[in-house]
Amino acid sequence: MHQYYPTSPAGLGAFTTPTRQGSYGSNYSAYSASTPSPQYSSSVPNSVHTLIAAMKNLQSTLTLWSTSRASPDAVSDAYMQFGVGFNAVVWAFEGSGVDTSDLHQIPARLRAVLETCLGEDPSPAALEMYQPRIRQQLYELLQGLKAKQGWQ
């Protein structure tokens, strides 16, 4: 199982790439797709709900940034919350024996788009230019989660 650990922002508007950690050893190896843990199975809906809330918060913080009512640091903090929510989802699904490796690159791709967006002067036009790519990453994540919830 892989885990993403968002790290603290390096500076004004800076993002750091969540880093992947290897498998978690004997505790995780006890779980398999054929025998999901009830503890993890019950946490899937909660973790998905938390991640969706973090995604909405990120989008609203970006909207505030575009009108100079939120700093790049605030967007970075919202991205970090997204990363924490993403980690919880990975733990919940993989603890239930559902592979999430197809979703692991989404946080890094989202971060890359956010960094480029925040490199612009804050304006609705700047956000409008990058919003389709931001939404595409979030959409891909939601579609992946939806497909995986069907496996539960």
Q: What pLDDT sits at residue 15? A: 42
Closest of 45, 148, 52 to residue 98, by C-alpha: 148
Q: How far apart are CA 48 and CA 133, in angstroms?
A: 21
Name which residue leads in pLDDT, 5 or 121: 121
The model's pTM = 0.74
Tens digit of each residue's pLDDT (9 = 90 or more) over 44-60: 899 999 999 999 999 99
Closest of 44, 47, 46 to residue 149, by C-alpha: 44
- Strands 3-5 and 19-21 come out as antiparallel
Tens digit of each residue's pLDDT (9 = 90 or more) over 85-143: 999 999 999 988 999 999 999 999 999 999 999 999 999 999 999 999 999 999 999 99
Q: What pLDDT sits at residue 21? A: 41
Closest of 145, 84, 135 to residue 109, by C-alpha: 135
